[in-house]
Structure 1
Amino acid sequence: MIRPDALLPAPLRRAHAAFVRLAEALQPLAQLAARLFVAQAFFLAGLTKLRDWETTLLLFTEEYRVPLLSPSVAAVLGTTGEVLLPGLLVLGLGGRVAALGLSVVNVVAVLSVPEMPEPAFMLHVFWGSLLAGLVLWGPGRWSADARLACARSRGRG
């Protein structure tokens, strides 16, 4: 199999290799930025729900249509996920599981608001895309998961 960059002239091949090295060096920063951005959005939403629990219960009863759950159970589960999972995501501790959990919260939020405005829907799609990347590729080198894996590998060697 021929590598695509093998067809390039040598100067372009070197530039491509330098670009790839730079992109790979920036991956931990991008993963951390994604974790912080998504975590902030969900954590602030959870805090808003906690600040006025009566309104939260009313919203889950009147506005949000969470499938298969009673409004009070949906409110507790959703709020708990929005408050606890972002902390794990920021730390990168159980990062893939935290990202998957927030993905579920995100999908349920989209499904439970029947008349979601287009800009809000697009924001949920963006969060979902970032979370999918974190689920698939992990929280990155700058995470508790990476530190724990490194410590475990040192303990075996």
Structure 2
Amino acid sequence: MKTILGWHQHISRFDGALTAWGGSLMSLALRWYVGWQFFKAGLVKVGDWSATLALFHDEYKVPLLPPDLAAYAGAAGELALPVLLCVGLVSRPAALALFLVNAMAVISYPQLLTFECPAAINDHFYWGAMLLVLVAYGPGKLSLDAWLAGRRAA
């Protein structure tokens, strides 16, 4: 019985360390993966600005915003928010804002729901789920948010 309790203590310590650092590594991977997807989209937008403006005027139907303002806001959000997310600075608000950018993309381009290949809409669902995980659980220990919190506590 003592042996079993001893093993349990060792496993519990290992499990605690794995949860703390494993969760932080998973959070870091999520932040970098999702951030990179949105950052690439922002680069495409600014890479051919006239095509971006044409898409926002003709294809995307962003509610409540004029097409030019929607294009600027979308590009700015897709370039700035992923940087914040990747370094882990104001991570939860950045993840929530990217979730809203993602939702607006789906709402503004309803053709995503009609494509023969479901990968287009599935990507948006996966990114949204990952962003909500980051909003709920935070950026983990491998972030500027955690480093700043540690400095504040010291």
TM-score class, shorter? 0.7 to 0.9
Deviation per CA, 1:32-57: give whole Å up to 9, x if none. 00000001000010000001000000
> Counterpart in 1 of 2:143?
143
2:140–2:146 CA contact under 8 A, matched in 1: yes
Deviation at 1:18, TM superposition (A): 6.9
Structure 2-normalised TM-score?
Answer: 0.87
> Counterpart in 1 of 2:39?
43
Deviation at 1:23, TM superposition (A): 3.8
Overall identity of the aligned pairs, in %: 44
* Aligned ranges 1:1-157 → 2 under 5 Å: 14=8, 17=12, 20-21=15-16, 22-116=18-112, 117=115, 118-154=118-154
Distance 1:16 1:110, change over 3 A: farther
- Say which SS state the counterpart of residue 67 (structure 1) adopts: coil
Point out where structure 2 has 5 or more consecutive residues left out of the alignment. Answer: none
2:21–2:141 CA contact under 8 A, matched in 1: no
Structure 1-normalised TM-score?
Answer: 0.85
The alignment yields a C-alpha RMSD, in angstroms, of 1.8
Distance 1:114 1:61 in 2: 15
Deviation at 1:17, TM superposition (A): 4.2
Number of residues of Structure 1 aligned to a counterpart in Structure 2: 144
